[in-house]
A and B are shown apart, each in its own frame.
Chain A
Amino acid sequence: MYVARASGLHQLHPLTKVLTALCLLIAGLTLPGNWTSYCITLLIVFPLSAWGKVFPNLLHIVWIVSLPFAISVLLIQSLFWGAGTPIFEFWLFAPKVEGARYALISLGKIILVMSSFLLFSLTTRPDALMIALKQAGMPSSIAYIIVTTLQIVPSFQRKGATILDAQRSRGLETEGNLWVRARALVPIVLPLALGSLMEVEERAIAIEARAFNSHKAETSLIEIPDTQFQKNFRTVTLVAMPLLMIFGILWRL
């Protein structure tokens, strides 16, 4: 996901970026007003991504991922809205203005969720995030889980493909009607799961031999630059998030 660029946004402390993204997300979902999420996306998230020189990447991914959502939500909510003002009537179809409006509001929230997540993940190196989280007091076991997952997924995808090919070469049908395809599932999933469970012990011994259970504080080769301003900013976002949520709930009561 990470896109290496020389920009001010890339140089910010990873936690500053996580908290900013979360804060924008919560603000967009809780603040009153139907079009708030569009405003936040257009006025804050997009300019920030331009500052980080990843605006084209962000726009591209948001476009690809949100397109099926957009089509689905617009069709379903406008066509099946129930009572309302029709935009036009054609045979059985009478999309409603109110439904289309609701769909656009939902789409704004979807785009905000995606773009604020991407703003963070496009500009933050995963290993820098892990070091920052560990320094902030997260248990190193959680960091281990996240880093290892990111590393082993590609090798598992290869393993899955190998098993699929192997079973096919033994005559397993993976195309045809639903029943044929459904029956192919167990012969593929079982070897994958069993084979990987066998790795567990080896890996456990390997990390225990490297002081995984040590309680001493770890040191890191990579220094993560931080400033007093960013620290203060993070405190502000941490206070702002629960306040935004409380405000959002009270406003709707």
Chain B
Amino acid sequence: MFEKIKKDFTTKTLVLIPIAIAINIVVGELVARLKLPIYLDSIGTVLVGAIAGPWAGALTGGLANLIWGLFTPTSAPFFYVAAVIGFMAGLAGKYGAFEGETPYWVSVLVGAVFVFSLTLFVLAFINVNVDETGYATFPSMGELFSRYLLLFIVAILLGGAIGYFLLQKGGYAGLWGLITGVIAAIISAPTAAYVFGGVTGAGTDLLVAAFRASGGGILSSVLAQGSVSDPFDKMLSFMVVWLILKALPARFKAR
């Protein structure tokens, strides 16, 4: 086990990691400068995972947040989330998510299924019933379908469109990004809720406010916010890394 982990860390990997962390920081700043409503601050981490394996990815993610924490202390408590993202990127790389091209129908399917389940999740959340004792009951799926049939159809079409126009031939990478985003949302929610009272001081706080307004608790509102914004963000990060790896000359990949 330990020997296997050690094998991930050649000199080239160790050189790659600081560069990847710098890419995280600089791309994060560029995105903020372009005023895009996403973070995209883990592209370098995903890149190391994809090139050098899960353990190198995990180390990159963890160190990135801890080092950046010296400048903005609020990112440090989330270092374990970044480590998991890097690890997932490594697994994705191992299973070939960043290689080759995905058929269009798979990308469409991935997009449609994802936006559909997101809609289901948010609707279930909005329509939750809390009785006087504080016991929450979620509406049944059938009930939701009959009430919001049109919305679900729109969601599936929109998801398909996202798959076709955005994921294009990178469907597998996008799928791994979506899964990673869901995991990141789940594991970061307790820290965000307990240490930071559920806010980040950024635009995504509006989502937290919306979920609080519709009756969610603090932890569940943070989780709901994360499940809406994280998968999309990580999907784009994985997609960008897929593009980078596709554009890399074969000479680099051979090493």
Is the CB–CB distance between A145 and B18 below 8 Å? yes
Cβ distance A107 to chain B, nearest Cβ, rounded Å: 7
Bound Cα distance from A29 to B191, whole angstroms: 11
Is the CB–CB distance between B23 and A156 below 8 Å? yes
A-B pairs with beta carbons under 8 A, tally: 184
Is A65's CB within 8 Å of the partner chain B? yes
Bound Cα distance from A142 to B9, whole angstroms: 11
Bound Cα distance from A253 to B33, whole angstroms: 45
Bound Cα distance from A148 to B60, whole angstroms: 13
Most A CB contacts (10 A, CB to CB) among B36, B64, B73, B218 go to: B73
Is the CB–CB distance between B73 and A114 below 8 Å? yes
Bound Cα distance from A142 to B27, whole angstroms: 23
Is A63's CB within 8 Å of the partner chain B? no
Is B190's CB within 8 Å of the partner chain A? no
Is the CB–CB distance between B70 and A121 below 8 Å? yes
Q: A72-B201, A76-B199, A182-B36 are in contact. Are A204 and B26 (CB under 8 A)?
A: no
Is B101's CB within 8 Å of the partner chain A? no
Closest-by-CB residue of A relative to B66 is A146
Is the CB–CB distance between B63 and A73 below 8 Å? no
Q: B248 — which chain A residues lie within 8 A by C-beta?
A: 194, 197
Closest-by-CB residue of B relative to A115 is B73
Within 8 A of B (CB), among A52-88: 65, 68-69, 71-73, 75-77, 79-82
Bound Cα distance from A190 to B247, whole angstroms: 8
Q: B146 — which chain A residues lie within 8 A by C-beta?
A: none
Is the CB–CB distance between A72 and B199 below 8 Å? yes
Is A133's CB within 8 Å of the partner chain B? no
Is the CB–CB distance between B12 and A201 below 8 Å? yes
Is the CB–CB distance between A82 and B215 below 8 Å? yes
Is B153's CB within 8 Å of the partner chain A? no
Is the CB–CB distance between A194 and B195 below 8 Å? no
Most B CB contacts (10 A, CB to CB) among A113, A156, A190 go to: A156
Within 8 A of A (CB), among B3-36: 9, 11-12, 14-19, 21-23, 25-27, 29-31, 33-36
Q: B12 — which chain A residues lie within 8 A by C-beta?
A: 200-201, 204
Q: A174 — which chain B residues lie within 8 A by C-beta?
A: 34
B residues neighboring A (CB under 8 Å): 9, 11-12, 14-19, 21-23, 25-27, 29-31, 33-37, 40, 43-44, 47, 59, 63-64, 67, 69-74, 76-77, 194-202, 205, 208-209, 212-213, 215, 218, 240, 243-244, 247-248, 252, 255
Query: What are 24 residue pairs bridging A and B, where the CB atoms are less than 8 Å apart in the complex?
Result: A105-B197, A106-B196, A109-B194, A110-B197, A113-B73, A118-B73, A141-B14, A144-B14, A149-B21, A152-B19, A153-B26, A157-B26, A164-B33, A185-B36, A189-B240, A189-B244, A194-B248, A196-B22, A197-B248, A201-B252, A201-B255, A203-B19, A204-B12, A212-B11
**19 additional contacts (CB under 8 A) given A73-B197, A126-B70:** A69-B199, A72-B199, A72-B201, A76-B199, A76-B208, A77-B197, A79-B213, A82-B212, A117-B76, A141-B14, A156-B22, A156-B25, A174-B34, A178-B36, A178-B37, A188-B30, A189-B30, A193-B43, A200-B16
A residues neighboring B (CB under 8 Å): 1, 29, 65, 68-69, 71-73, 75-77, 79-82, 102-103, 105-107, 109-110, 113-114, 117-118, 121, 126, 141-142, 144-146, 148-150, 152-153, 156-157, 159-160, 164, 174, 178, 181-182, 184-186, 188-190, 192-194, 196-201, 203-204, 207-208, 212-213
